[in-house]
Amino acid sequence: MNLNSIISGIEVKEKVGDLNLDITNIHSDSRKIKEGGLFVAINGFSKDGIQFIPDAIENGAKAIIVEPDTDISTLNVPSNVSIISVNDTRQALALAACNFYDNPSKKLKLIGVTGTKGKTTTTFMIKSILQSHGLSVGLIGSIAVYINDEQIEGTDRTTPESMDIQKHLHLMVEKNVDVAIIEVSSQAIKLDRVTGCEFEIGVFTNFSEDHISEKEHPNMEDYFNCKLELLKISKLGVINNDDEKVKKIKDLLPDKVIKTFGMETESDIKANPKNTVISDSFIRFSIGINGKDEEIEASIPGTFSVYNALGAITTAMYFDVTANEIRTALKDLRVLGRSELVPNKLGLTIMIDYAHTPSSLESILTAVKTYAKGKIICAWGVGGNRDSAKRPVMRRNFRASCRFYCSYD
């Protein structure tokens, strides 16, 4: 694609060299640049992309995009390599990727799911329901990239970089996908990974403490506002009406069409907690669909799983799904590492869960306590290089929870 077309819509400060070039690939990682590439030199948390310009050129870069404060005259690049200075390199990368892949999100019904917890399970539930409805569905999330039941590529973060998102969406368009679903983290919004995407629906599952650190969010308000951006750029919002912070979105975005789900508060899709059953292997609840009470069962235990299912159902109702399609989709659904039951010959209930926040650890132990018939043993840990402030909170919660819920501390 012509470089002029790729940078269309990007705020450019300075241009040096020929922009009438044919670009064959785009990346912010110099190691992944190929012949005819456009390298976007992003100033990251620990390294400045400018130092990798020579590597990108050696690998075949024809053009470089740099930060606005870069002195282009000092870069000492070959005369046949063009340089473009922009006001925001992360935003430029996202918009360039949209242009390069011909804006694939405009050709799909795109659903974004954000929230502190439940993003992965909710996306898989939406995917399963819509497939049951007969739609072709793509998913981009923390486990992998899928087109229907085929795993296309593994992932190493909740939301990939912008050029990877556009590449995946472009492939989905080529494969005649109808609906694409993306897990959207707060960091993805803050770092422009989903900039340029056109979302049909934005889902906000819940909100609690997480990702407060020097490299992530300075405070909870910034964390919330980043997530709120997803609903601002979506045509329809779907929110948890039982979450005290999330429910305020109706007032924060008065002109936005909002659909709600919950158990305790009157909502568009509401499960009656008195009719809800939670066991060590499934949940069962009833909801009103088209004026009729419908019983739904899902094979993922825990009260939080009811909320995830309600969010997924509320979203899927936009596509006129039926109660039978919902039942079929959720009955035997499994999600890797999310309240995942481990088969064993000992007759024990062994569960793996990606509980990585204080509230999610408490939630999973609360859920287990409601149906456990014997001892509860919990092994827990925290990943490195992330929000260190939550670790002492999780340690306190872990010890308190174990004393209250478990047989061993």
- Give me the tens of pLDDT residue by residue for the chain, a chain 409 residues long: 999 999 999 999 999 999 999 999 999 999 999 999 999 999 875 678 899 999 999 999 999 999 998 988 888 899 999 999 999 999 999 999 999 999 999 999 999 999 988 899 999 999 999 999 999 999 999 889 999 999 998 876 778 899 999 999 999 999 999 999 999 999 899 999 999 999 999 999 999 865 555 566 568 888 899 999 999 999 999 999 999 999 999 999 999 999 999 999 999 999 998 899 988 778 999 999 988 999 999 988 888 899 999 999 999 999 999 999 999 999 989 877 666 777 788 877 777 777 666 666 776 776 677 667 777 777 777 665 555 665 676 666 566 555 544 544 4
C-alpha 267: how far from its chain's center? Answer: 24
Say if residue 256 is in the same domain as residue 146: yes
Say if residue 260 is in the same domain as residue 322: yes
Residue of 201, 165, 226, 208 lying closest to 312 (CA atoms): 201
Say if residue 356 is in the same domain as residue 321: no
Are 243 and 227 a contacting pair, CB within 8 Å? no
Question: What pLDDT score was predicted for residue 104?
Answer: 98
CA pair distance 171, 116, nearest whole angstrom: 29
Q: Whole domain around residue 387: which residue ranges?
A: 340-405
Say if residue 205 is in the same domain as residue 286: yes
Say if residue 68 is in the same domain as residue 211: no
- Degrees to nearest 5, angle at CA 385 with 387 and 65: 100
Say if residue 259 is in the same domain as residue 115: yes
User: How many Cβ atoms sit within 10 Å of the Cβ of residue 399?
Assistant: 12
What φ, ψ does residue 275 adopt, rounded to 5°?
A: -100, 15
Are 159 and 115 a contacting pair, CB within 8 Å? no
Three-state secondary structure call for residue 169: helix
The total domain count for the chain is 3
Domain termination residue (choose one: 307, 331, 355): 331
Domain termination residue (choose one: 100, 121, 146): 100
CA pair distance 305, 368, nearest whole angstrom: 12
Say if residue 114 is in the same domain as residue 156: yes
Q: Domain of 139: which CATH number?
A: 3.40.1190.10
Are 181 and 113 a contacting pair, CB within 8 Å? yes
DSSP calls for 88-138: -HHHHHHHHHHHHTT-GGGGSEEEEEESSS-HHHHHHHHHHHHHHTT--EE
What φ, ψ does residue 203 adopt, rounded to 5°?
A: -110, 130
Question: What pLDDT score was predicted for residue 122?
Answer: 96
Domain termination residue (choose one: 48, 77, 100): 100
Q: Domain of 368: which CATH number?
A: 3.90.190.20
Question: What pLDDT score was predicted for residue 208?
Answer: 81
Looking at the DSSP bridge assignments, the partners of residue 111 are 181, 201
Question: What pLDDT score was predicted for residue 179?
Answer: 98
CA pair distance 244, 241, nearest whole angstrom: 8
Using CA atoms, how far residue 244 sits from 131, 250, 265, 293, in Å, is: 32, 12, 11, 27
Residue of 129, 171, 128, 179 lying closest to 149 (CA atoms): 128
The token pair at 70 is: 């870069």
The token pair at 316 is: 């899927």
Place of tokens 């000992």: 346
CA pair distance 408, 383, nearest whole angstrom: 22
Say if residue 39 is in the same domain as residue 177: no
Q: What is residue 330's DSSP assignment?
A: H
Question: What pLDDT score was predicted for residue 409?
Answer: 40
Question: What pLDDT score was predicted for residue 408?
Answer: 43
CA pair distance 328, 307, nearest whole angstrom: 18
Question: What pLDDT score was predicted for residue 396?
Answer: 66
CA pair distance 231, 369, nearest whole angstrom: 35
Q: Domain of 87: which CATH number?
A: 3.40.1390.10
Question: What pLDDT score was predicted for residue 74?
Answer: 87
